[in-house]
Every structure is written in C-alpha cells, then in structure tokens.
Amino acid sequence: MKKERASRILLAARTRRAIARTHAIRCVFLVMLGLSTSVYAEHVWHVVILPGADPTQPAAQQQIQAIRDSIASAAPDGAEFYTDSLDDLRFDDAELMPSFLALMKRKYEQKQVDVVIGLADFALDFTKRYHDEIWPGVPVVISSVAPARQKDIPAEFAYVPVDFDLDGTLALAETLQPNARHLVVVSGVAPLDLRFAQRGADAARARKSRQWAVDVWSGLTVPELQQRLAALDRDTAVLYTTMYRDRTGRTFFPYEVVAPMAKASNAPIYGWYPTYMGHGLAAGSMAGFETNGQLTGALAASILLGKVPPQSATVAASASRCVADVGVIDKLGLRADALPEGCELIDVPPSLWREYRDIVLIALAVVLLQALTIAGLLWQRRRRRIAEDEATLRLDELARAARFASAGELSASIAHEVGQPLGAILSNADAAGMMLQNEPDIDELHSILGDIRRDALRANQVVQRLRALLQKHPLKMDMLDLNSAFEEALTLLGLEARRRRIVIESNPAAENSRVQGDRVQLQQVLLNLAINAMDAMEDTPPADRILSISTRAVGQGYELTVADRGHGIPAGIGERLFDSLYTTKPNGMGLGLSIVRTIVMTHGGRVSAASRYGGGSVFTVWLPSAAEHASSHAREARPGFDNPTEKATLKARPTTQGGHT
C-alpha cells in the first residue's frame, strides 16, 4: 500500500516536473531572446490513442474525434495525435501481439509522448502490461471499459467510465410493448459480443417490472438471423448487443447488421449504441460516446496542464439518453406517444406542425389576432347597442317629460275644449230635467240626449288624445301614415291656436306618406315645432299670425315644414338652437328642439331651421319613406358594411339641423 502510494506520488511529481520544465524552458527562451513568440520553443502535446477496435467504426470515430477536439482546444501549443489499433475484436490478438508490441516500441522509441489514452478492454490490457516498456512515466487515461472491469485498472491510471444503460433500454421495450414477454438477445461470437450477450440476458432476467423469457442468439449468420427474426411475432422484443464476428468467422462493424435485421424482423429491435439509430433500431437508452470523448479529452488535458494528478483520477460517466425512431415504431404498429417525455425522436413523419411550424405559428397568431379583433368589435357593438338602448330609454323618458310640458302649455286650451262640452252637457241636462217636470216632449228629449252624447264624445276624444300623448310607452317603430299622425296632433294644436288667435294653414300635400316610425314621437316633433312657432308669434300682429304646416314628398322621403311669422331666429345662433338647455324664453327648458332632433335622427331623418323670407322662421324635417328606411337598414346589415364605427358615423353625420339658409 505504502509502496503504491509512494510510486503514485513519484509519478505525479514526475509529470508535474516535466510540465514545469517545459514552461521554464519556454520562459527562459523568451527572456533570453526577447523576441516574438514565433521563436520560442513550443511544447506540442503528443497524444497516443489506442482504440483497440477499428477506429473507423462510427461509435469509435465519434469518441476519438471528441477526444481530439477536447485536447486540441486545451493545448497551449497544439497537439499531435497518433492512433494505433490492433483491431482485437476481429483479429487474433494473442498471435499478433508480439509483432504489435514490437511495432509500438519501435514507433515510440524516439518520440516524446505526453499522454496515452486507451479505449476498451484491449487498450486496458495492453497499457497495463506494456506501457512502462513503451511509454515509461507517461500518464494513461482509460475509457470505454465496463464498470465490472474497473478493479483491473492500475491505480496510477486515470479512468473515464462509460455507461451502457441496458436497464433503461429494456425499460423502453417494456413501455413500447406492454404485452411482450419474450426477449431475444442477439450477438456475435467475438469475446466482447458474448460478454454483452450475457449482460443483456442477465439484465433482462433481473428485471422486476417484467418477467422476460429470454433467448440468446449468438453468432448466427445474417441470413440465419433474418430467417429467425421473420418468424417472430409482435409480442417479442429483440435486444441487439454487438456482432463483431459471426459463427462462420465473418466480421462486421456491429451497426452494419442492424439494417438487415430490421428489414426481416417482425419484432422491434432495441440497443444502446447511438450509431445503430437510423438503420432500423426502434429505440434505446443510448450511450453518449461523444460526451464520453469530451470527458476523456478534458481529463487528459487537465492532467497535462498539471491541474489533476493522473493517479486514480476519474469523472462521472456520461449519462445515457432515450432515443427512438418514430418511423420504425409506427411501422411496427407501436405507439410512440407511450415513450417517456424528453425522449429524442428521429425520423418523425412529416406533419403540418413539424414541417411548417413557423408558418403555422404565424397563421395561428394572425387567426388569434383576428379572433381578438372580432371579439373586440363584437364587444364594442354590444356596448354600443346597450348604450343605444339606454339612450333610447332616456329619450323615451325625456320625450314623455317634454310631452307633459307641451300638455301643460296646451292645458288652457284643453281645459277650454273639455269645459265647453261639459258646460253644454250640463245645460242640456238641466233643460231635459225641466222638460221632464212639465209635459215631456219625447222628440225634444231625444235631441237633447243626442247633443249630450255628442258633447260627451267630444270631451272624451280630447281626453283620449291627451292620454295617448302622455302615456308611457317604449319606442315602437310601426308602418304609419305621416299625414294621419300629424292630423291627430293638429287637433290638439288647433285648440291652442284658436286660443292664441293663430290661424293654422295646413297643407298635407304628401300623398300616401308611409313612414316607419313611432306615432307618438313623430306627433311630438310637430307639437314641439308648432308650439315654438306659436310662442314666436306672441307679438306678431293678429293679421299675420299664421302658422303654416305642410308635408310633401322630397327624394326618397317626406318633408314636414313648420313656418311662422314670429320674431325669427336670432342671428349667430347656428346649430346651438338644437342644443339641449338652449332657450331664450323666460320659462323655457331648452329641450324642445333637442328632442325634435333626437327623434328625427332616430328615424333616420334630418332637421333644419332657417329664417323665413318676409319675417319669421321655417323649420324643415325630412323623414325617409318606409321603403328607403328598410333598404338603408339592409345596407347597414350587409357584411362589409357592418363596421360599427362607420355605422355610428353615418347615424351621427346627419343633419343640417341648425343651418340658416
């Protein structure tokens, strides 16, 4: 033990001394020459790599390349690599050994070597026996040796373990084939092949998660193998280890056998060499040869830089990773979605998502944006509808309040109009009573009762109209005749006009004036305009007190004109006339015209006011005909026109409401 430790310390010291010597020489040279770095003595690292097997087989190539890259990137002055292989897996190493040893000795007699990297069993055995003879004192790094052989590695050697995850590979077989109970382990007959076959069978038999019935087929020729594989069913799993040599002595790189096996096999084939992937292997927990090469190269570089003593230096094994061939898995009718998450998938059949991921993402983003925009617009539209409904409700309430105000203004004439028939009824009733005390004249009594009935009806009509006007009712757009609606309002207005000694000239020239509208609201338009006109004529000489109300067909609708000979519209008022709360009257509310404008706009029409030639003013209301109203609604409802913003503008853009002409 003590001896071993002493020799380790001695070796470490020797390595460190060699490196320190090199650096010292370099520094002295630099100082002495005081010249550029191009002249100082470089120390290029000389690295011997012993792959054992043929270094051109893909797994070895990956590993060796990674070792070289890793060392070269760490070497201050670069590195030279020498690769020597006896290819023991396919040649008889016992017979060739003397010649190989002699060649090695001769080759490296004159060569200063800095590190020897041995890969796999042959390299371990060879360096263990001969490295003192060939490369005395040179550090050795061993990799690609099974953990079971770790105990054979001399203490002065560094070691990078490589992990073959047989258990992980078998677990994948169990996942992909939940019903499989039969496992065939396939291998060649080279010693390494047989060792792997044994390991595979042992690992399967030791599985707790599945009771495998294990068969081992070692050394079959490829045609024999194909024949047997073709006879397997889908509930069998095949674990392919390595086949460096078959029973006839034919040698292979193990990956070469995968394709012919997969071609014939009915059962999925599993393995742990990444170089088998893409040749028909279904899946496996793959050894990381490249990562192992990087770790091996990095450890060798650390030793050469003096950071780590070579004796028993080691690192953690590179982890295996799940890789699966989706093409193969699909072909065999297995379910790739059963694979564990994070498993690397190769040969994934093209799909829209995989092939055009970016375009699909962009399209999705566009669709999403569109959906959001549409949702936004719908939301906006809904809010607008709600706002419109609220506004209509307010308008209803406001209009009703205004009607009460109008009724208030008309109250004197209404009282008169109701009072008159009531008085007549009373006197007729008195007359009838008196008649009954004497000799009743039946004919006369009939006539009196007829008068009473007529007067009562007259009073009743006035009350009914008033009730209809003041009744609470929601906006109701009906097909109606404009003239007849106005006529009803004119009856009430007539009473007031008579009281104010104003003559109403009515000229309902519009024929067949069918509009879509709310009867009471349209009557209110006329009432408001007419009462304003009457107010304006308060100081007009009696002879000129004429209120002209007329209708006529204009364009696709009908026009109502209310003209008076009053004081006229004050100059400079403009559109403010129609603003709510604008009034010039001592007891005015300033709501009449604003209500007129709102009602007219709700009906899709327009209103304007102008001074009248010869004094007074004229208010003009235009309302679309029922047909025009319907077609403009259809236009609005048409797709492409259904732009809420545009619709809002159209409704709001309207009128020449206050324009003086």
Question: What residues make contact with ligand ADP under the rule CB under 6 A?
Answer: 528, 532-533, 536, 564, 566-569, 577, 582-585, 588-594, 617
Residue 602 and residue 123: Cα distance in Å, rounded? 98
Phi (first) and psi of residue 512, to 5 degrees: 50, 50
Closest CA to 500 of 470, 464, 449, 534: 534
* Distance in Å, CB of 529 to ligand ADP, minimum: 7
Residue 120 backbone zone (phi > 0: left; psi -120 to 50: alpha; other: beta): left
State the minimum distance, in angstroms, from the CB of residue 379 to ligand ADP. Answer: 36
Given the complex with ligand ADP, which of 392 and 583 has the nearer CB atom?
583
The CB-of-598 to ligand ADP minimum distance in angstroms stands at: 11
Q: What is the DSSP letter of 307?
A: S
Residues 6 or more apart in contact with residue 153 via CB below 8 angstroms? 124, 128, 142, 145, 159
Between 268 and 592, whose beta carbon lies closer to ligand ADP?
592
Give the pairing of strands 478-481 and 514-517: antiparallel
Side by side, which strands form the sheet with 158-160?
79-83, 45-50, 115-119, 140-143, 158-160
Half-sphere exposure (Cβ direction) of 434: Cα atoms closer than 13 Å: 6
Angle made by CA atoms 435, 438, 441, in degrees to the nearest 5: 55
CB-nearest residue to ligand ADP? 592
Residue 274, C-beta contacts closer than 8 angstroms, at least 6 positions apart: 59, 62, 286, 287, 288, 289, 323
Nearest CB to ligand ADP, comparing residues 583 and 632: 583
Q: Which is nearer to ligand ADP, 154 or 590 (CB)?
A: 590
Strand partners, 217: 186
Q: What angle, rounded to 10 degrees, do the helices at 644-652 and 357-437 form?
A: 40
- Pair 618, 661: CB distance under 8 Å: no
Closer Cβ to ligand ADP, 93 or 409, answer by number = 409
Closest to 604 measured CA to CA, from 584, 619, 618, 625 = 625
DSSP codes joined into one string, 187-235: E-SSHHHHHHHHHHHHHHHT-SS---EEEEEES--HHHHHHHHHT--TT
What b/e readout covers 611-646, taking b as 16+ CB neighbours within 10 angstroms? ebeeebbbbbbbbbbbebbeeeeeeeeeeeeeeeee
Question: What is the sign, positive or negative, of the torsion defined by CA atoms of 138, 142, 148, 149?
Answer: negative
Q: Which is nearer to ligand ADP, 274 or 566 (CB)?
A: 566
Nearest CA to 619 among 550, 577, 561, 660? 561
- 3-state percent breakdown (helix, strand, coil) of the chain, nearest 5: 55, 15, 30
d(CA 52, CA 64): 12
Q: Give the span between the Cα atoms of 362 and 249, in whole angstroms.
A: 58
CA 443 distance to own-chain centroid: 93
Whole-number Å distance between alpha carbons of 57 and 62: 9
Nearer to ligand ADP, 22 or 580 (CB): 580
